[in-house]
Chains A and B, each alone.
Chain A
Amino acid sequence: MSILDLENLSIDFPTSKGVVHAVTGVTLSVEKGRRVGFIGESGSGKTTTALAAMRMLAAPGFVSGGEIRLNALDHPNVLDLSDEEMRQVRLSKIAYIPQGAMNSLNPIMRIEHQIWDGIVAHEGGVSEAELKRRSNAALEGVGLDPKIVARLYPHELSGGMKQRVCIAIGTCLDPHLIIADEPTSALDVITQRHVMQTLREAQARIGAGLILIGHDMGLMTQSVDEIAVLKKGELVEYGPTQQIIETPQHPYTKELISSVPLVGGASFLDPAPATPAEGEHGDDPLLELRGVSKVYGNVTALHPMSFRLDGATPQIISIVGQSGSGKSTMGSLMLGFNPPSTGEVLFKGRDVYTQSAAEKLAFRKDVQAVFQDPYACFNPFYRVNHALKFPFERFGLSKGADHTRTAMEEACIAVGLAPETVLDRYPHQLSGGQRQRLIVARALMLSPKLLIADEPVSMVDASLRATILKNIHDLKDQHGISILYITHDLATAYHVSDYVMVLYKGHVVEAGPPKEVIGDPQHAYTRLLIDSIPWPELDRDWGSYESARAALDRLAEIETRPETVYRGEVPGFALSQG
């Protein structure tokens, strides 16, 4: 029996520039106990469709046509309910698990109170002992110990724990349907697997239907029974997961599947040119870390480590790890933004933190950065030209306005952007992918020797990731720039890098060429990371709820005895722990 039926659903957003048809003519059903995935890129209407079922569309959006039927109700037509009736349906019949794990809980309320207020809003006066019993059961149901968690405030929990509290809230009234809106997008792969398994387990226990909203085909393959592919508000393909994965019909579905970079398989990069560009030749190595460590308060973010990057042959060195592994700390240390607690950072033989003002200026020109958030990298008040032009002129590279213009256009073309469509525009007029490529173009204009790219593609849509990584990879082959690529994504590191180091809690646990480290991991932690990746292949098992939990226990064990597994050398780079 179906729980939810969407019948020819259309949703419009009237704006000052005319009506935007966010969703047009979507028809689908969710069966009891079934899991349906809504997949598409940002702006595809997947969240809007799901929110319409809860009548929670953001203003000014409204349902302009079609029907939403929730069959558990006496009067199933959701659109006919009064506001008060709709309020009673929420949580008790349809529960919502939000996207932002970090921010979804009221910061000034204890965890258990945030479960209680939901129960009280739907059942009225319930005794405190009964509330306590039920909130404890709900927390236990998502693998949290109520004795520890119930009385805490949200800021005292990790992201994964917060998201499991949201699942506990969503399932505490045994709803018929659960809508989970990218519930794991802010989490690392190991936590993602655990939270996703927790959600599936809770949903199966209460026999609810599940709508999982997401953009990651791999996660969908491993989590849902049916997949609905949305593009620009239209349902372009809908069917059982196996059928969608194995015989996709619509070109957009095929694109979504192929945009997931895989470990092994065909590379998305162009073959290297016959005569790759030369790097920097000098007496001193390009970048050297000598016994560098970083301690914040009583937390060691990075344990002492050393490496030497010659730079004569340009290379891409990947630093891989989860959030909190110390990888971004390493990036800021190398950029001269964050003095190390011990040891020294040397660029061309000079200590980055004690160099003179003139040396510092040269260092800033030679070492460029690409950061994670392409939205925060531009000053919104200036056209993007300003961001490109300003450093170019300030470092004295410009020979006049025409020369600057030519350099900007060349840089745009080098990253695959048509100059006339992006220059002279404001940042908000460009997409995230365009902005991130402009940031790469800006770095390129200064002909740096070293580029530090900290999660450069984690915030752009999947289909653009390969393109931007290709741009970055070209910097090495065609412009002779050495690159430090900081990422949590093992699959992209596998393809672009010459050498990979895997970081865990500030320790390098495994290091070597990517074919060895990622293709055939030896360290328990690296293996755990690889096992936690959801693959868009049905015959690859993502493991059970128990194995995901056991993985977390194994992590704690790894932490107690750090060791480094060296998997081979590459010329021009040397690494040691200590």
Chain B
Amino acid sequence: MGRIPADYLLNRLFTLFLTVFIAATLIWIIPRMSPINPVDVMIGRMAAGGGSVENSGAILAQLTERFGLNDPWYVQYWLYVRNTLTFDFGISTASFPTPVVTMIANALPWTLGLMLISLVITFVIGNLLGALMVWERTPRLWKVAIPAAMVFTSIPPILSGLLLMYVFSTQLGLFPLTGAYGLNVEPGWSWDFAASVLYHGFLPALSIVVVTFGFWALGMRGLMITVQGEDYTVLAKAKGLKPRYILYKYMIRNAILPQITAFALKIGMLVAGQVLVERIFAYNGMGKLLYDAILDQDFPVIQGVSFVIILMTALAVFLVDLIYPLIDPRIRHGEATS
């Protein structure tokens, strides 16, 4: 523990870079294997909008040239790598000529806000409920109620979202149906705006929490049963420690360790994780951006969003590698794992 050795840090950084590089290459290759030409799609959309397109052949050639689709693959790849490293993902083909990075910059805070908060809430609630399912002092009512609540886990988030919308918005009128903030407030750092964001974020967040807490609760339950049988938990009881102290310092504190690794992996996934929830709540985050981009064959946006997801996952794993020795003294930086 203590200081992080330089060679370990370098090793981890190299792994981080390599992971991102390989994954970025894959997301460049995969869309190119698709038979659809994005410029065709663009022309098609223009035609749909304006009836017919004059000189469509010339426009096609010009756009193909403009997007660099005539260049040999290695030139395209080299430009892609160079641009990606500078966070230049090019220009959206669907929302031409908006730069992809601008679209991501607009969408990312919404998703991070909504998803990170709901992930943290889910993590806390799920693990706590999972722990309470095992703890011997949990009131009997809770021991029945928690497994019963697991029923929600089997509902796809899209249905739970619709159900929540029906009950809380349509029937009770308590929460707004869609959107990330009210039309009557000006986006900016004001209390009104913040309140509006929280008000609008409540239902989407709830729909995620309700269907995903079971993942954490079930995992935690299994881990807690193991910890409950450990000799140190038995000794803690024999020491006459207070039951809550045993629950937190001996049981949860040890059982939570593998869950933290899972949490890091989820951070990366959460950006794309709830595409459909964002979609049905018309919440302008990364999920909706990715969803629309796939429908529109918007290669630059797909690549940009995918790259951000990869980067977030790799960064989260990198951070967990660094902090894990601080939360588990048995793990040391730079020690070979066998």
Contact B235 A166 (CB under 8 A): yes
A165 to chain B, nearest CB (A): 11
The number of residues on chain A lying at the interface, defined by a beta carbon within 8 Å of a beta carbon of chain B, is: 29
Q: Tell me, in angstroms, the Cα distance from A166 to B239 when the chains sit together.
A: 10
Q: Can you list 23 A-B pairs, Cβ within 8 angstroms, ordered by A? A: A54-B238, A56-B234, A56-B238, A87-B242, A90-B239, A90-B240, A91-B240, A96-B235, A98-B234, A103-B231, A104-B231, A105-B235, A106-B232, A107-B328, A107-B330, A108-B254, A108-B329, A117-B239, A117-B245, A118-B241, A121-B239, A122-B240, A153-B330
CB atoms of A155 and B329 under 8 A apart: yes
Does B45 count as interface, using CB distance less than 8 angstroms? Answer: no
Judged by a CB distance under 8 angstroms, whether A88 is at the interface is: yes
Counting from the closest, the 10 A-B pairs by CB-CB distance are A90-B240, A96-B238, A100-B231, A103-B231, A153-B329, A104-B231, A91-B240, A118-B239, A106-B232, A121-B241
Residue of A nearest to B237 (CB): A56
Shortest Cβ gap from A542 to chain B (Å): 27
Q: Given A117-B245, A153-B330, is A103 in contact with B238 using a C-beta cutoff of 8 Å? A: no
B238 touches A91 (CB 8 A): yes
Using a CB–CB cutoff of 8 Å, the interface residues on chain B facing chain A are 136, 230-232, 234-243, 245, 249-250, 253-254, 327-330
Chain A hits for B237, CB < 8 A: 56, 90
Contact yes or no, A117 B241, CB < 8 A: yes
Contacts of A92 in B (CB 8 A): 240
A89 at the interface (CB under 8 A from B): yes
Contacts of A89 in B (CB 8 A): 240
8 A Cβ contacts from A71-106 to B: 87-92, 95-96, 98-100, 103-106
Beta-carbon nearest neighbor of B330 in chain A:
A155
| Closest residue on chain B to residue A119 by CB atoms | B239
Known contacts: A104-B231, A105-B232. The answer to whether A98 contacts B238 by CB under 8 A is yes
How many residue pairs link A and B with beta carbons under 8 A? The number is: 76
Q: Which of A47-61 contact B (CB under 8 A)?
A: 54, 56, 59
Bound Cα distance A99, B235 (Å): 10
Chain A, residue nearest B257 (CB): A108
Contacts A117-B239, A155-B330 given; does A103 touch B230 at CB 8 Å: yes
Q: Contacts A108-B254, A108-B328 known; A121 to B242 CB distance under 8 Å?
A: yes
- Complex CA gap A96/B232 in Å reads 12
Contacts of A98 in B (CB 8 A): 231, 234-235, 238
Contact A91 B232 (CB under 8 A): no
- 10 new A-B contacts at CB < 8 Å, known A91-B238, A100-B231, A104-B235: A90-B238, A104-B231, A107-B330, A108-B330, A118-B241, A121-B239, A121-B240, A153-B329, A166-B235, A169-B235
A107 touches which of B239, B242, B254 (Cβ 8 Å): B254
* Complex CA–CA separation, A54 to B242 (angstroms): 15
* Complex contact A106–B236 (CB within 8 A): yes
| A contact residues around B234 at 8 Å (CB) | 56, 98, 104
* Complex: A383 Cα to B240 Cα, angstroms: 44
Q: How far is the CA of A109 from the CA of B249 in the complex (A)?
A: 9
- Which secondary structure dominates where chain A touches chain B? loop
Give, as a whole number of angstroms, the nearest-CB distance from B138 to chain A: 14
A106 adjacent to B254 (CB under 8 Å): yes
The residues of A with any CB-CB pair to B shorter than 8 Å are: 54, 56, 59, 87-92, 95-96, 98-100, 103-109, 117-118, 121-122, 153, 155, 166, 169
A107 touching B329, Cβ below 8 Å: yes
CB distance from A338 to the nearest CB of B (A): 13
Closest to B229 in A: A58
CA distance A54 to B240 in the complex (A): 10
Across the interface, name the chain B residue whose C-beta is closest to A87: B240
Residues of chain B within 8 A of A169, CB atoms compared:
235, 239
Which one of A56, A99, A106, A166 has the greatest number of beta carbons of chain B within 10 Å? A106
CB of B232, distance to nearest CB on chain A (Å): 5
Nearest-Cβ distance from residue B118 to partner chain A, whole angstroms: 28
| A residues less than 8 Å from B239 (CB atoms) | 90-91, 96, 117-118, 121, 169
Q: Which residue of B lies closest to A104 (CB)?
A: B231
- A contact residues around B250 at 8 Å (CB): 106
Which A residues lie within 8 Å of B249 (CB)?
Answer: 106, 109, 117
**Residues of chain A with a CB closer than 8 A to B253's CB:** 106, 108
- Shortest CB-to-CB span from A50 to chain B, Å, is 11
- B330–chain A nearest beta-carbon distance, Å: 5
Residues of B near A107 (CB, < 8 A) are 232, 254, 328-330
Q: Chain B contacts of A108 at CB under 8 A?
A: 253-254, 327-330
Chain B residues lying within 8 Å of A106, measured Cβ to Cβ, are 232, 236, 249-250, 253-254
Q: Judge whether A104 and B241 touch: CB under 8 Å.
A: no
Complex alpha-carbon distance, A109 and B234, angstroms: 16
* Candidate in B232, B240, B250, B328 with the most chain A CB atoms within 10 angstroms: B240
- Which residue of B has the minimal Cβ distance to A179? B238
Query: A99 vs B240: C-alpha distance in the bound complex, in angstroms?
Result: 18
Chain B nearest CB from A297 CB (Å) reads 8
Give the Cβ gap from B247 to chain A, nearest Cβ, in Å.
13
In the complex, what's the smallest C-beta–C-beta distance from A37 to chain B, in angstroms?
20
B240 in contact with A88 (CB, 8 Å)? yes
Tell me the minimal C-beta distance from B289 to chain A in angstroms. Answer: 41
Nearest opposing residue in chain B for A106, CB measure: B232
Q: Taking the nearest CB of chain B, how far is it from the CB of A394, in angstroms? A: 30
* Bound-complex Cα distance A106 to B238 (A): 13
Complex interface: chain B residues within 8 A of A122 (CB):
240
Distance (whole angstroms) from the CB of A99 to the closest CB of chain B: 7
Q: Which residue of B is nearest A88, CB measured?
A: B240
Chain B residue with Cβ nearest A155: B330
**Could you tell me if A121 and B245 are in contact, using CB atoms closer than 8 angstroms?**
yes
| Nearest CB of A to B227, in Å | 10
**Docked CA distance A103–B239 (Å):** 15
